[in-house]
Amino acid sequence: MYYCIQCAAIHAANGSDKEIIFQSGFHYVAGQRYHAGVCQLEVHVPEIQHTTHTTATA
């Protein structure tokens, strides 16, 4: 069992390559200690919008 820091839920470890369980991080839920982890490898990071500006020259 581990606590997912991405979705804030407790999951059973299933050995999937889609999960990461940290050996040195822990989280307490109702007095019970769980390893911290991430249930999916794809961490959703907001994409930065890039704009191009044209510069007029005289």
Domain range summary for the chain, segments of one domain joined by +: 2-38
Q: Distance between CA atoms of 44 and 51, rounded to whole angstroms?
A: 22
Question: Residue 37 has what pLDDT?
Answer: 93
Residues of the chain with pLDDT under 50: none
Beta-sheet pairing, 32-38 with 2-4: parallel
pTM for the complete prediction?
Answer: 0.63
Question: Residue 45 has what pLDDT?
Answer: 60
Give the HSE-up count for residue 32: Cα atoms under 13 Å, Cβ half-sphere.
7
